[in-house]
Structure 1
């Protein structure tokens, strides 16, 4: 086909939301009038990614380059030099975690600089492109930085009423424990007060009190046996491409945000995947900024000061809340479909 050939450079892992996002770009490419592949020479990836996503070994295939940074700095000096073979006007940087923010939020070890300082990130970004894109939906953007939503509404959207109120689980969270232990356990305790107590499941890494992420022990800490003692099922990460159907097996799915996301109003892929799944999303106080995306009706999904009462209301008045979530789905899909997100990305190239 004719049209831009977009190469994506990134640090890919099969069970990371970032990889699922790029998969959305790949699927939407034809409708958006372009092609999308992962750049093999300019990326890091685990052994599963080449089986799941198209990896292009020849950088000459691409007409445009998008370098995406989530978490660590992965490029070697040789890769940075290789990226420079693309005309500067055809290179963009996407800064998912605000690494290059001028003012670092006071978020402890969940801040944006890490060992690679904010100044180092800005120097790197300046070497790669004149424009940096960030998915921050509030706050002033510094010079050379613009808002880009990055994530889209998956094409497979299940209406809550279509799935009905009878699910395998009453409450479920899919995702790793990264500063999410306290909000997750608070939700478990709230659910335990309901009658009957809903079946609760957690899928992801660092939830069982065993292994932690080296160097990030505080972020991935959990209490051994705590979840099991309260009847919570703890399962491994969900396989690639199955996150949304697995979410739909639960009546209620919380959106739990890490301090960085809460403090800077960052969008994440889970905010769209949860909504698309047909589960009823519930929002903690830290995620109330999502009203800017979900709309005013998201107030019905806030956990609020009495999470147990909110969970009970969603369970007992399922049909009303299913209609509310369905309307939110329609609005978000119109604005944030992946073909539209990809068109918006291409527009930055001029």
Structure 2
């Protein structure tokens, strides 16, 4: 193939949404007229990622470099020097998933992204790598020098809710780790158990039953045994590439967001994966900013102030809501499909 050859530099873990996003880039590359691989010399990764994503050991293969950051400054000084020496500055850009390119680190109450790094250190790092800072910040004012880029897109596989039908293994399911999501999830479970019959419920992910992430105890707090006591089946993280079909095993899948995401209007992979899965995506109050992506027709999917009534309505009038979700899927796939996301990314290189 002739065309740009994009190397992605990042901190990869198999169960992270970030890795699923890069898989979307890889799958869509041909349709966007480019090739995409993970840069081995400029990335950190667990031992499973090389079997799941194409890892390129030769920097000379790439024509463009995209460096993606979430919470961690993963590049060593030697890797930074290698990146800047290998790729012209005009062919390097930074994707800033957590809004670190800012005068101050974003915080919402107790939720923030700074960790052990200062705002100055993030800005210095980004400035060394590129002049182009891209952020998936959907609402509010962008930081000076940053530009909006969705970064994340609609997965290639989209299941219409009517195709999957009403009969599912679960009525209500959430797939994802507990990262500032304990309160919204338990509030939803408490609403669900008031319904008759009580919905079949499942949660898949880490930090839901007492174990916490060292150094992030507040973000991953939970009450041991609480979910089981309320009839919720608890399972480990879903295997790479299986998130969407596993979501589709449930009639309803809520979109739950951490305070920082809600307060800054950040897009996340789960917002698109949930829509693509064929489950009915129920939007929590903190996720209502997603109406800008889903469109005005998503109003019946908002959990609102009475989530029990909304859950009951989605269940009993499944066909009507399934048709609504199908129309939303078509619109979002057109605007946020990964081939279009990649073409938009290439446009930033000029």
TM-score by length of structure 2 reads 0.98
Shift of 1:202: 0.2
The count of aligned residue pairs is: 349
Secondary structure in 1 aligned to 2:90? helix
Secondary structure in 1 aligned to 2:31? helix
- Distance in 2, Cα, partners of 1:327 & 1:103: 40
1:217 maps to: 217
Which runs of 5 or more structure 1 residues have no equivalent in the other structure?
none
1:48 maps to: 48
Shift of 1:305: 0.6
Shift of 1:102: 2.3
Runs of 4+ more than 6 Å apart? none
Is 1:166 the counterpart of 2:167? The answer is yes
Secondary structure in 2 aligned to 1:150? coil
Shift of 1:263: 0.8
Shift of 1:144: 2.1
1:27 maps to: 27
- Distance in 2, Cα, partners of 1:39 & 1:109: 35
CA RMSD of aligned residues (A): 0.9
Shift of 1:139: 1.8
- Distance in 2, Cα, partners of 1:291 & 1:281: 12
- Distance in 2, Cα, partners of 1:143 & 1:181: 34
Q: Is the 8 A contact 2:107 2:113 kept in 1?
A: no
Is 1:184 the counterpart of 2:182? The answer is no
1:339 maps to: 339
1:126 maps to: 127
Shift of 1:109: 4.5
2:285 maps to: 285
Is 1:257 the counterpart of 2:257? The answer is yes
Secondary structure in 1 aligned to 2:29? helix
2:13 maps to: 13
Shift of 1:141: 1.9
> What are the Cα deviations for residues 95-154 of structure 1, in whole angstroms up to 9, with x where unaligned?
000012224444245213221111110110000000100000112223321000011111
Is 1:266 the counterpart of 2:285? The answer is no
Q: Is the 8 A contact 1:100 1:113 kept in 2?
A: no
- Distance in 1, Cα, partners of 2:21 & 2:143: 25
Q: Is the 8 A contact 1:12 1:19 kept in 2?
A: yes
**More divergent stretch after superposition (94-103 vs 150-159):** 94-103
1:64 maps to: 64
2:242 maps to: 242
> What are the Cα deviations for residues 258-294 of structure 1, in whole angstroms up to 9, with x where unaligned?
1110010000000000000000000111000001000
> What are the Cα deviations for residues 177-231 of structure 1, in whole angstroms up to 9, with x where unaligned?
000000000111111011111100000000011x210000010010010001111
- Distance in 2, Cα, partners of 1:71 & 1:263: 17
> Counterparts in 2 of 1:91-170, with a 5 A limit?
91-170=92-171
> What are the Cα deviations for residues 71-116 of structure 1, in whole angstroms up to 9, with x where unaligned?
1111111111111021000000000000122244442452132211
